């Protein structure tokens, strides 16, 4: 049940996030576009759900026991979710992260008491990649588990049981489409599977940033990437275990500029301060909404994910020098 009932403990603050009708995007699409406010989770991102799901699953299997340690490789948000859940349950956290992620995420992880290991950003095939480093560290640390968010399907299960069920309830069973970008793929696969189980006609679209390989995979069956993106937390180059069997009906490729434009508009016109993956998701939701309108669906309703708070990117997305250095348009109100 979604509402303002008292929660029995802090972990119950994860999930049951609000859903908001987005005005500008709805107008642009010509139908209702809804944003699931995942920035309202205690760790301010969608990844709190996966963190809790993975930890509860490891406990249920008997892999994680009193005083144990959780090790994970992450772009940041999963680490923040794991550190919060671990603190609440008495576990230790070790996070391995590429050193090109936002300084806010690093500072947050340190502030939460996680042990932070920074590695240079490398290709997945490199043995020093943050994912492989975290697996090795977990093997070497006594009483530790490796969360393995990319290939541990407890991640997507959190979205089947949580996010999808909540969307269905919040929209009273009237939802025509859902889309979001993929990092691990847990959100798109889990929400897609969960919604299809309620109603097989709900259209599920993957929204891919440039530089990721999933758009071409779902369009042509071949993993191929073009260009690049500065969006953190999204952009996958392989079919993770979480993505296996994801019910993707259609796909869109969205540029950073288009995503940033929606980040700017949502902030200035609707008072929402978000990260870039949310802007890319909203642009994808508009594309899906238009497609559903064109296909003759009456007043379609599309939902997407507002993944994390923009406060996590003050030194990047909301910083003039950073935007200029990346060759990206500077928000009008940051120009002088
Ligand atoms: N946006 C942000 C900001 C994220 O940190 C993540 C997680 N990596 C995602 C989107 C994508 O979520 P998922 O891992 O479920 O695909």
Q: For residue range 150-181, what is the model confidence (pLDDT) as tens digits?
A: 999 999 999 999 999 999 999 999 999 999 99
Q: Are 29 and 285 in contact (CB under 8 A)?
A: yes
In 3D space, the residue among 158, 181, 171 whose CA is nearest the CA of residue 202 turns out to be 171
From ligand 1's centre to the CA of 232, what distance in Å? 8
Ligand 1: distance of its center to the CA of 307 in Å? 7
Among 15, 36, 41, 47, say which to mutate for ligand 1: greatest number of ligand atoms within 8 Å of CB: 47
What domains are there in the chain, each with its CATH number? Answer: 10-40+156-323 (3.40.50.1100), 47-146 (3.40.50.1100)
Please give the pLDDT value at position 103. Answer: 85
Q: How far is CA 205 from the centre of its chain?
A: 15
Which ipTM was obtained for this model?
A: 0.99
CA angle in degrees (0–180, nearest 5) for 214-216-221: 95
Could you give the CA distance from residue 132 to residue 127 in angstroms, rounded to a whole number?
A: 6
Q: Give, using CA atoms, the residue closest to atom 8 of ligand 1.
A: 233
pLDDT at position 126 is 94
CA 298 to centroid of ligand 1, rounded, Å? 31
Q: How far is CA 299 from CA 123, 194, 197, 203, in A?
A: 43, 22, 22, 14
Tell me the CA end-to-end span of the chain in Å, nearest whole number: 47
- pLDDT at residue 2 in the model: 63
State the distance from the centre of ligand 1 to the C-alpha of 183, rounded, in angstroms: 5
Among 46, 154, 186, which residue has the most ligand 1 atoms within 8 Å of its CB, making it the best to mutate? 46
Nearest CA to ligand 1 atom 4: 233
Residue to mutate, 234, 275, 282, 309, ligand 1, most ligand atoms under 8 Å from C-beta: 234
Q: What is the 3-state secondary structure (H, E, C) of the chain?
A: CCCCCCCCCHHHHCCCCCEEECHHHHHHHCCEEEEEEHHHCCCCECHHHHHHHHHHHHHHHCCCCCCCEEEEECCCHHHHHHHHHHHHHCCEEEEEEECCCCHHHHHHHHHCCCEEEEECCCCCCCCCCHHHHHHHHHHHCCCEEECCCCCCCHHHHHHHHHHHHHHHHHCCCCCCEEEECCCCCHHHHHHHHHHHHHCCCCEEEEEEECCCCHHHHHHHCCCCCCCCCCCCCCCCCCCCCCCCCCCCCEEEEECHHHHHHHHHHHHHHHCCCECHHHHHHHHHHHHHHHHHHHCCCCCCEEEEEECEEHHHHCCCCCCHHHHHHCCCCCCHHHCC
User: Is 80 exceeded by the pLDDT of residue 75?
Assistant: no
| Cα distance between residue 136 and residue 61, in whole Å | 21
Q: Ligand 1 centre and the CA of 231: distance in Å?
A: 10
Pick from 42, 35, 33, 108: which is nearest to 75 by CA? 108
38-64 tens-digit pLDDT: 999 999 999 999 999 999 999 999 999
Among 6-15, 96-105, 129-138, 272-281, where is mean pLDDT lowest?
Answer: 96-105
User: Across residues 9-36, what is the average pLDDT?
Assistant: 97
- Tell me, what's the pLDDT at 12? 96
For residue 1, pLDDT beyond 60 = no
**Which residue minimizes the CA distance to atom 6 of ligand 1?**
233
How many residues in total does the chain contain?
336
Which residues have CB under 6 Å of ligand 1?
Answer: 45-47, 75, 77, 181-187, 232-234, 275, 277, 307-308
In whole angstroms, give the CA distance from residue 306 to residue 286: 14
69-73 β-sheet, strand order: 115-119, 92-98, 69-73, 144-146
Active site residues: 47
């Amino acid at each position: 049940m979604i509402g303002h009932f008292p929660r029995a403990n802090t972990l119950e603050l994860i999930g049951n996030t609000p859903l908001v009708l987005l005005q500008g995007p709805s107008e642009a699409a010509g139908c209702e576009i809804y944003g699931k406010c995942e920035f309202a989770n205690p760790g301010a991102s969608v990844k709190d759900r996966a963190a809790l799901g993975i930890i509860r699953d490891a406990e249920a299997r008997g892999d994680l026991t009193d005083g144990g340690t959780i090790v994970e490789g992450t772009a940041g948000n999963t680490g923040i979710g794991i550190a919060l859940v671990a603190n609440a349950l008495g576990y230790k956290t070790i996070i391995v992260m590429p050193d090109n992620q936002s300084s806010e995420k690093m500072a947050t992880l340190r502030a939460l008491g996680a042990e932070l290991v920074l590695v240079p950003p490398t290709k997945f095939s490199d043995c020093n990649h943050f994912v492989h480093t975290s697996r090795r560290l977990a093997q070497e640390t006594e009483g530790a588990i490796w969360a393995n968010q990319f290939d541990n399907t407890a991640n997507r299960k959190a979205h089947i049981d949580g996010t999808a069920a909540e969307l269905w309830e919040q929209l009273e069973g009237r939802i025509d489409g859902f889309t979001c970008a993929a990092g691990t793929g847990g959100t798109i696969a889990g929400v897609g599977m969960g919604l299809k189980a309620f109603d097989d006609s709900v259209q599920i679209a993957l929204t891919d940033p440039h530089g990721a390989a999933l758009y071409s995979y779902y369009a042509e069956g071949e993993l191929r990437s073009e260009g690049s993106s500065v969006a953190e937390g999204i952009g996958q180059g392989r079919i993770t275990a979480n993505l296996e069997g994801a019910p993707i009906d259609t796909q869109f490729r969205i540029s950073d500029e288009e995503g940033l434009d929606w980040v700017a508009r949502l902030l200035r016109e609707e008072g929402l301060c978000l990260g870039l993956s949310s802007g890319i998701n909203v642009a994808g939701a508009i594309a899906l909404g238009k497609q559903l309108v064109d296909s003759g669906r009456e007043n379609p309703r599309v939902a997407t994910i507002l993944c994390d708070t923009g406060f996590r990117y003050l030194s990047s997305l909301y910083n003039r020098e950073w935007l200029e250095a990346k060759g990206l348009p500077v928000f009008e109100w940051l120009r002088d």
